[in-house]
Structure 1
Amino acid sequence: MQKVNRWVWLTGVTLSIGVALVSGYQLLRERQVYTVRLATGGASGEYYAFGTAIAQVVAAHEPKIKIEVVESAGSPQNMQAVQARRADLALVQSDTPVLPAVQAVAQLYPEMFHLIADTAAEIDSIADLQGKRIALMPKGSGSYTLFWPLIAHYGLQPEDFQAFPMSPTEAHAALLRGDVDALFRIIGLGNESVAALLRDPAVELVPIQQIEALRLSQPYLQPTIIPQGAYDGSPPTPAADLPVVAVNALLVAHQAVPLEVVKAVTRTLYESRNELIRANPHTAQIQSPSVSQNLGIPLHPGAQAYYYQDEPNFFVEYAEPMGLLLSATIIVASGIWQFRLWLVGRQKNRADMYNLEILALIEQVHSASSLEELRSIRQQLFEILQQVVVDLDIDRISPESFQSFTFPWQVAIDTIRHREMILMNLTGTR
């Protein structure tokens, strides 16, 4: 009996210690502040601005997560940094070879190939780069890395032209000075520095042809267009829809980053859209969650936990009796299909309404005679954008309609900037 009591006592003490340890561990986890490093790009680049917006909004909603935005040379370096755990998260181009310890979090937005040339250089295609001086982005960047397989398709070798790697700011200045004949850069549509460069009539965008043939050797490339007027509406730049190719910007994480951290970051991307857009309008192009679930590379468990959180348990899903009558199934399916057709039509009509409002505001911009009028129009544009984001969240418009909306909205913003410059020059305002 004494031995039994001793074992009972020892078991009770062991269980108490175990409960205390588990409770203490859980308490520490609840109070723990996570600091993670997000590798982006150069401080003046789009990746850095995008990463800064994510860090700001995550900090506002998740006080236990602090994101340090880290400068880098570009996608290949970012992938290596995550693999070596010098960074926990990173922005990379979808063509970057994925390393074993790196997992996907989300697909963000398309990055388009921009070949911008001096009009006097008579460059109408990539093949015309032979014998020319080309400004490239810094070595190690995604733009630099992708340039070489691109020109190889057209039969060009490095010795066929002069290549000058430099920063984006230096490349833009070199083209305007005439020190180079063209520059190549992969960037999200509507980049402000590219828009400013294209306002100079001495430079132009060059189309990238043979897109389907390019994809035979580079399947990660996606055919796309730079829409007419994407960079300026009056006169439209480009003057017509311009065929180009694109890769996608991805958010990736090291597999060892805690699940709750990646889940919180993923949730911020999709559920804090308004704040993200206010911090950086380009975040409006973030792809839908369904796209990120099918990237062809392993998803981080934290991203999986967010994407599949609403999926029912297998036994719950199939708990209902399976013996429904065939006629009832047909009636229900028909009703759902009719409702879907009605909903899609309603979503499209609502999106078209917003696009018409944008076009009307663009007309007002052209006739505006004061900076105050332009400020009022800009405010109306951001109010429309906020309403569209709300409608997207509650399924009043579809993700496809939202993507089509972002183009005229950005054109309107760029048109305002162009009109402001004209008015300031007329009035001598600085």
Structure 2
Amino acid sequence: MIRRSFIGLGLALLAGTTALAQEADRSGWPGTVVIGTASPGGTHAIYGQGIASVISAHVGVPASTQQTQGPTQNLVLVHGGRIDIGLTTMGPAYEAMQGELDLDPGTAYDDIRALFPMYVTPFQAAALERSGITSVSDLAGKTVGAGPRGGTGGTYWARWFEALDLSVDVQNGPLGDQTSQLADGRLDAVTTAAGLPIAAFSELETLAPTVFFGLSAEEIGKLKATVPYAEEFTIPAGTYSAQKEDISTLAMWNVAFTNSEMSESLAYEIVKAVFENHDEMVATHASAAETLLENVTQNGFMPYHPGAVRYYREQGIDLPEAVIPAEMK
């Protein structure tokens, strides 16, 4: 009896110590985690819900999403401490680090820290079949929706039309609203950049016969020199019901990120939860199939958060020197 009592006491003390250690490890954690996504109809909005669900269920911190104008605004919000996690593409992230972000020019975002790669975002366009528009060159003189101003599509398509010497009346707004305007004939086409398949495009082709297209080989060659963080990409035939052939285009990788103020232990647990509950992420959106450890090195310049670095090193991943934060070198 006495021996059992001492054993029971020892186990109780051990359990108490473990609980205290876990509590201490959570020091500095916020009461909730807010994830900045994008406008409705885009992939970020759906994918972000998956992240929030995984964090809530497996990290033990209530998480929610906040609709934003997209990748560029998410950088501003995370940098300013107004949200905890943002979703962005490598183009805006690169420009933010260089102090060249459209929404905050002259400010070098040296405090942003990557958490994990998400998926690759191809640039693509849609027009109604009856319009006769089947290529980017056909958009000259047309009124085209390019998504939110702070989104990847809204940022780059406007620049690219200019680089290709195309006079296009670019309209900004939520992607879902713009595909509805296209179906109603108020826009001639919609251009965007998002993970596949884009929900708004899938819905569009149920409303009217639709044509999907990307960039020609000549356009890719001309634009690629201006965006070294973009890669050539093929949108597979059948991605949308009306798409019978592969589509060639450019694409950029997406990354979930935070700032240097996030607790190392929280960043570690978030990254661990995302990779170790991959099936739950994929169930939210098919694009999460690319959220894999093998794609961690797709980020070649944005420093990873120390908590993320710790997890990746435990998994045996050899990270490029450029993505190791200064405090860990």
What is the TM-score of this pair, normalised by structure 2? 0.78
- 1:93 matched to 2:89: yes
- 1:270 matched to 2:275: yes
Shift of 1:136: 2.2
Distance 2:132 2:41 in 1: 30
Residue 75 of structure 1 corresponds to which residue in structure 2?
71
Residue 236 of structure 2 corresponds to which residue in structure 1?
227
Gap change, CA 1:269 and 1:231, over 3 Å in 2: same
Greater share of residues in helix: 1
Gap change, CA 1:184 and 1:43, over 3 Å in 2: closer
* Amino acid aligned to 1:74: G
1:254-300 Cα deviation digits (max 9, x unpaired): 01100111111111221111222234443223143453475322111
Residue 197 of structure 1 corresponds to which residue in structure 2?
204
Higher relative contact order (CA 8 A, sep 6+): 2
Shift of 1:89: 1.2
Distance 1:277 1:303 in 2: 21
Residue 157 of structure 2 corresponds to which residue in structure 1?
147
- 1:207 matched to 2:214: yes
* Amino acid aligned to 2:137: A
Distance 2:281 2:38 in 1: 19
Output aligned runs, 1:218-367, within 5 Å.
218-232=227-241, 237-292=242-297, 294-311=299-316
Residue 326 of structure 1 corresponds to which residue in structure 2?
none
> Contact 1:126 / 1:154 at 8 angstroms: preserved in 2?
no
3-state SS of the aligned residue for 1:217? coil
Gap change, CA 1:44 and 1:29, over 3 Å in 2: farther
Shift of 1:195: 1.5
3-state SS of the aligned residue for 2:38? coil
Residue 61 of structure 1 corresponds to which residue in structure 2?
58
3-state SS of the aligned residue for 1:106? strand
Once the two structures are overlaid, the 10-residue window that deviates more, 70-79 or 120-129, is 120-129
Shift of 1:167: 1.8
CA RMSD of aligned residues (A): 2.5
Unpaired runs of at least 5, structure 2:
1-17, 98-108, 318-329
3-state SS of the aligned residue for 1:169? helix
Residue 168 of structure 1 corresponds to which residue in structure 2?
175
Gap change, CA 1:58 and 1:194, over 3 Å in 2: same
Identity percentage over the alignment? Answer: 22
> Contact 2:144 / 2:170 at 8 angstroms: preserved in 1?
yes
> Contact 1:41 / 1:72 at 8 angstroms: preserved in 2?
yes
Distance 1:31 1:219 in 2: 39
Distance 1:310 1:109 in 2: 20
Distance 1:206 1:290 in 2: 26
Count of aligned positions: 282
Distance 2:291 2:19 in 1: 39
Residue 111 of structure 1 corresponds to which residue in structure 2?
121
Shift of 1:68: 3.1
Gap change, CA 1:310 and 1:113, over 3 Å in 2: closer
Once the two structures are overlaid, the 10-residue window that deviates more, 273-282 or 97-106, is 273-282
Unpaired runs of at least 5, structure 1:
1-22, 313-430
> Contact 1:289 / 1:307 at 8 angstroms: preserved in 2?
no
User: Bigger radius of gyration, 1 or 2?
Assistant: 1
- 1:51 matched to 2:48: yes
Shift of 1:28: 4.8
Gap change, CA 1:174 and 1:248, over 3 Å in 2: same
- 1:186 matched to 2:193: yes
Distance 2:37 2:130 in 1: 35
